[in-house]
A and B are shown apart, each in its own frame.
Chain A
Amino acid sequence: MSDLPYRIVIGLEVHVQLLTRTKLFCGCSTQFGLPPNSATCPVCTGLPGTLPVMNRRAFELALRAALALNCEIARFTKWDRKNYYYPDLPKNYQISQYDLPFSKDGWLEIDTLAGPKRVGIIRAHLEEDAGKMLHDEKGGGRDSLVDLNRTGTPLLEIVSYPEINSPDEAKAYLEEIRLLLREIGVSDCEMQEGSLRCDANINLHILNPSPPTPLPHGERGAFPPLPPSQVWGWPATPIVEVKNLNSIRAVGRAMEYEADRQYRKFQEDGRKLGEEPKETRGWDEARGVTLPQRRKEEAADYRYFPEPDLVPVVVDDAWLAQARAALGELPAQQRARLVQQYALSEYDAGVLTRQGRALVAYFEEVARLSGDSKAACNWVTNQVLATLNEQKIDIGSFPLSATRLTGLLVEVRNSGMPAQRSREVYARMIETGESAKEAMEALGIKVVGDADALREIVARAVAANPKAVADFKKGKTKAADAIKGAVMRETKGMARMELVQQLVLEALEKS
C-alpha cells in the first residue's frame, strides 16, 4: 500500500440529520436557517411536565439507512437518557440509545487504490440533536446565546470499526455514506449546514522489525473498549479523537496531519496506547493543524438509564419489509449494474453513480434511445456534467431532454461531425433550446460526407496551393496539412477527417 513506517488506524463516528419535516420527539420544524429559537416548543425546550413522543417517520428513515449499511436490525430497541449538563441541552440529558441500539454489525463498501474494501460498522443508533451556542465575541465573551432550533432534530449516529487505514479511505468512506444516504432519501448530508458531522478516532501501529501476531480468525479490533497497547502485535500510539471536521476535505487533511504528528511524537516520547489518557484535539482549518482541546478533569460519566417517558420500539416484519422496499437500488448495486448492462468502465460507472439516481436515469434513457451506451456515457459524463456544474443546476433542471441529446448523438454518428463542431451545436442547443438539426442549420453546418463533392473541393485546394504541393514532393509530408486545412476551411469543418485525409493524399500522389 505505502512505504510509511506505520499503519494508520481510523474509526469514524458520523452524525447524520434525518430528512424529517419535524423533530424526533415533537412537532417543531427541522428547517435549517430559521430565526433563532423560532422552531421550538415546550417539549424541545424541556419545560416541566412535557413528554416526548417518537416521530415514526424518523425511525423509518433510520431503519432504511441501517438496512443500506447492511446492519442487523434489532426487533426490540429502547431509548436511554444520556445525562450531562450543557446550556444547549435544555433537559440536561439527551435522549439516545445505549445498550440496545436499533441496529448493529453492518458494513459499507468503499473504493480504495487496492480495490473495493468493506469497512465494518459497529452500530447505528438514533438520538436527538442538541441546540447551538452562539458566543458573543464582541462582548468579551461575556454573553453567550443559545439557539434551540436544532434541539431535538433526529440524528443518526453511525460508528465504524477502526478499519479505515488512510486519509483517502476516510474520505472515500464519508463520500460513500453521503452518496448512499442522499440516494435513499435519508439525509441531505450537507456538512456546511451540519446535517452531516464527523468525529475521527485515529492512531498508528508502528511497524517495527518484530513480526505482528495475527488476529484469531474473524476477530476484529475492538473499538470500544480500548484495545491493549499491542494491537496486531505492533506497538500502537495513543488514540486521539479529532473534532471540528467541517468538510470531507478537512477530514483528509486532518488525518494526514494527525498521522504525521503522532508518528513524530512517538519518535520523541515513545508513548504507547494506554500510557496516557485519550486526547481530544480540534482541527484548525485555517492553520491546517490539530490542537488539543480542553481536557476534561475526569472521564465523563453519562449515567445512562432507560428513558422512562418512552416505550420500547418493536420492529415487526411488515415494518422491516416496508423499509426495505423503500431502499431502491443502492449505489454499489447501481455501479455494478452499469458496468454489466452498459459495458461501462468501473470509473465511468462510478462517475455516473456519484451524481445520483436522476442523472443515472438520464444516462440510461439516452443510452436506450441512441443504442450507443459508450457515446451516451461520454456525452453525459463530459458535456452534460460540465454544464450542470457551470450552471449550478441538477439534472432535473437541465434544458436538454434525453430525446434532444439523443438527437445530437445521432447527428454526430451519421455525419461524422468532428468533436469541436458537435460541441458548438450542443452549446447552441443549450442556449436556444433548438433541436440538433435546427442548431446545425443555424450554425450553417452542413456535413460534406459525399466523396465526389469532397474530391472537387480537394482538387481546388491542391490547385490553390502549389507551394505545399512542391514541398510535399520534396518529401515534406507535413505539407499535406496545409491542403487539409484549406479543405476544412472550405467545408466549415464539416467534412469527415478520415475521408479528407485519404482524398488529399490521393490527390497529392497523383499531382
Chain B
Amino acid sequence: MIERSAAALLDSLSRGEMSAEALTAAFLAAIRQREPKVRAFLHVDEAGALEQARAVDLRRQRGEPLGPLAGLPVAVKDLLCTRGQRTTCASKVLEDFVPPYDAHVVTRLKQAGAILIGKTNLDEFAMGSSTENSAYQVTRNPWDLERTPGGSSGGSAAAVAAGEAPLALGTDTGGSIRQPASLCGVVGLKPTYGRVSRLGLVAFASSLDQVGPFAHDVAGVARLLEVIAGHDPRDSTSVDRPVPPYSQSLERPVKPLAIGVPREHFGAGLDAAVEQAVRAALALYQRLGAEVKEVSLPNSPHAIAAYYLVATAEASSNLARYDGVHYGHRAAVYDDLIHMVERSRGEGFGAEVKRRIMLGTFVLSAGYKDAYYLKALKVRRLIRTDFDRAFQECEVIAGPTSPTPAFKIGERTDDPLTMYLSDVYTIGANLAGIAGISIPCGFTGTGLPIGLQLQAPPFEEEKLLRIARLYERETDWHTRRPKLV
C-alpha cells in the first residue's frame, strides 16, 4: 500500500477503500521499520499523526467537506515552522525552538486535511548538498545506504524514496529540492520565486528560497503544489496570481513543444551515465514530437560564483539573529555580552554555516561590496536575461539536474568547493527566480537514480508539469522503489 503514488492513495481514501488511520499507521510502521537505515526524520509525531487521521476519518464518516489531501501523510522539512512542535533547522542553535506559529505552507497542509507525520532532516539551515551538515544525524540514500540523499532537503527526498511518506515538502535555495530528488529517484519541484509564501520558512537566502513539493510522480507534485501555492499577504514577495488546477491538466500535451538544451549544461564534470540518460530522455521527447534545440545560457559559468556571493551575503544577515539573547542556544559560561554572543554562536553553528556567514560578511564589507556583492547582483541580472532570451525559443529548458548521481557519505565533506558544484545546473533557476523540476530519467549501472531537470519561465508551472508528465507517461522510472527490506 505504501508504495503507491499519492494520487492513487488519495483515490483509495476518497472511495473509502481504506481509512486515513490505517494509511497513516502503515506509513508509521514503514518509518519504524526503515528509519534505522535511512534516518530521514528528525522527529516523527506518531500520536499526533494518528489523531489527525482519525479526525479526517470522522469527518468523512459524517459527510463533512474534506480538503484535497485529506488523510494523506506528508513529511515536512524541519526548516518549516510548525506550531507547538520543535523546528530545529538541523541546528544546535535552535535545538529547543518551538515556534508559536505555523509556516504558511503548513497551515495550507492542515487546511487540506493532510496528516503531518514528521519533520525531516536537512543540512543545517539548508546549507549543503548532502544533508551531512545536519547537527543531528546523517541521512542515507535509500538506493544505496553508503551514499548521501543529496541536500539540503535530503530528509524529505529520502523519506519519499524510502516509502516513509507519499509526499514531502522541501525548500530550494540553489537546488535543495531538485538535486536530492534527482539523487533519490523522486520528483521534486522548485516553484517560481513568489509562487509559494515563505512565511514560516526559516530564511537562508531570502531572495532565493522557495518551498516546493516532493512525490513519486508528477501528479503527486501537482497535487501538493496546488495546495501550497498562492498569494499570502503576510509575505510581501508572494505574488498575487491565480493558481491553476495543476493536477487537472497534466495529461494535456503541450503542442507544439520546443525543448531548449543549454550547451553549457553538458560540459566538463558531467558524469557519463548521467549524460547518457539525459540524452536518451531528450531523444524520447523528440520521438514524442518535440523539437529539441540547442540554446545558450552564456553566463551560466558564473552562476555558482554569483550564487555563493548573494546567498551567503543574505545568510550572514538572516542568521545574525541567533545570538542567544532572545531565544535559541545560549552559552552556559561567558564573561560579558559580546562574549556571550560569540560563544553562543560559536557553539551553536556548524562548520559550513560558519563558513558561509564569514563569506557573506566579507562580501558585504566596506571595500569589498562593490567587487563581490554588487557584481554578483549584476551577474544575477545577466543570468535572468539569458533565461528570458532562451525562453523566446523554447517552452522549457532541459538538462541534467545534478552532474553526478548520489555520492558517498563523507566523500566531499572536506572539499566544500566540489560540494558546491553539485548545484551547478540548478542554481540558475534560483538566481533567475524561475521554476524547475527534477524527474527520474534512468539509473546508473550500479542502480543509482538519475534526474532530468526541466526549467520553465516564471509562473509556467502548469506547462512545466504537463511537459514533465509527457515524459513520465512513456517511462517507468518513477514506479521503481529501492529494496530496503
Contacts and interface: CB of A to CB of B under 8 A. Distances in A.
From A47, A49, A87, A92, residue with most partner B Cβ within 10 Å: A49
Contact of B206 (A48, A53, A83, A308): A308
Interface in A40-54: 42, 45-54
B13 to A, nearest CB: 31
B206 A47 contact: no
Contacts of A7: none
Task: Determine the main DSSP class of B at the interface with A.
Answer: loop
Contacts of A93: 317, 320
Interface stretch (B49-57, B195-203, B395-403): B195-203
Contacts of B365: 301, 303
Contacts of B81: 48-49
Interface in B308-354: 313-314, 316-317, 320-321, 323, 325-327, 337, 341
Contact of B202 (A48, A305, A310): A48
Contacts of B87: 48-49
A51 B234 contact: yes
A301 B366 contact: yes
Contacts of A146: 325-326
Contacts of B207: 308
A81 interface: yes
Contacts of A437: none
A91 B320 CA distance: 7
Given A301-B366, A308-B314, A309-B206, A47 B99 contact: yes
Interface in A87-123: 87, 90-93
A119 B424 CA distance: 55
B340 to A, nearest CB: 9
A50 B321 CA distance: 12
A85 interface: yes
Contacts of B237: 308-311
Contacts of B84: none
Interface in A288-316: 301, 303-305, 308-311
B277 interface: no
Given A90-B321, A303-B364, A309-B206, A48 B89 contact: yes
Contacts of B337: 87, 144
B30 to A, nearest CB: 29
B103 interface: yes
A304 B327 CA distance: 25
Interface string A30-74: 000000000000100111111111100000000000000000000
B301 interface: no
A256 B103 CA distance: 55
Contacts of B206: 308-309
A221 to B, nearest CB: 24
Nearest to A90: B326
Given A42-B100, A305-B313, A310-B236, A51 B198 contact: yes
A53 B197 CA distance: 13
A311 B199 CA distance: 15
B14 interface: no
B326 A54 contact: no
Contacts of A308: 205-207, 237, 314
Contact of B364 (A47, A83, A309, A310): A83
Contacts of A85: 320, 323, 341
Given A49-B81, A52-B236, A305 B317 contact: yes
B197 to A, nearest CB: 8
Contacts of A87: 323, 325, 337
Contacts of B201: 49
A51 B199 contact: yes
A87 B338 CA distance: 10
A68 B325 CA distance: 40
B415 to A, nearest CB: 29
Contacts of B316: 83, 303
Nearest to B194: A311
A42 B337 CA distance: 23
Given A53-B233, A54-B236, A46 B317 contact: no
A49 B81 CA distance: 7
A82 to B, nearest CB: 10
Contacts of A144: 337
B476 interface: no
Contacts of B317: 81, 83, 92-93, 303, 305
From A92, A93, A310, residue with most partner B Cβ within 10 Å: A92
Nearest to B341: A85
Nearest to A48: B202
A53 B207 CA distance: 15
B94 interface: yes
B77 to A, nearest CB: 12
B235 interface: yes
B407 interface: no
Contacts of A310: 236-237
Contact of B327 (A47, A53, A92, A309): A47
A304 B321 CA distance: 16
A131 B94 CA distance: 23
Contact of B321 (A46, A51, A53, A301): A46
Contact of A303 (B198, B234, B361): B361
From B81, B233, B317, residue with most partner A Cβ within 10 Å: B317
A85 B337 CA distance: 11
Contact of B203 (A45, A49, A53): A49
Contact of B326 (A45, A51, A309): A45
B345 to A, nearest CB: 10
B352 to A, nearest CB: 18
A48 B103 CA distance: 10
B369 interface: yes
A228 B99 CA distance: 53
Interface string B82-115: 0000010100001001011101000000000000
A48 B126 CA distance: 14
B236 A46 contact: no
Given A47-B99, A81-B317, A308-B207, A92 B94 contact: no
A52 B198 CA distance: 11
Given A42-B101, A308-B207, A51 B320 contact: no
Interface string B286-320: 00000000000000000000000000011011001
Nearest to A307: B206
A47 B87 CA distance: 12
Contacts of B143: none
B47 to A, nearest CB: 25
Nearest to A52: B236
A46 B314 contact: no
B387 interface: no
Given A42-B100, A303-B361, A305-B373, A48 B321 contact: yes
Given A48-B202, A309-B237, A91 B321 contact: yes
B236 A309 contact: yes
Interface string B59-87: 00000000000000000000011000001
Nearest to A131: B326
From A45, A50, A308, residue with most partner B Cβ within 10 Å: A308
A53 B198 CA distance: 12
Contact of A48 (B94, B205, B366): B94
A139 B65 CA distance: 60
B236 A48 contact: no
Interface in B185-238: 198-203, 205-207, 233-237
6 contacts: A46-B321, A48-B97, A54-B236, A92-B320, A93-B317, A308-B237
Given A49-B80, A53-B233, 13 more contacts: A49-B99, A49-B103, A49-B202, A50-B200, A83-B316, A83-B364, A85-B320, A301-B366, A303-B365, A303-B369, A305-B369, A309-B206, A309-B236
Can you list the 3 inter-chain pairs with the closest CB atoms, starting with the nearest? A92-B320, A303-B364, A308-B206
Interface of B: 80-81, 87, 89, 94, 97, 99-101, 103, 198-203, 205-207, 233-237, 313-314, 316-317, 320-321, 323, 325-327, 337, 341, 361, 364-366, 369, 373
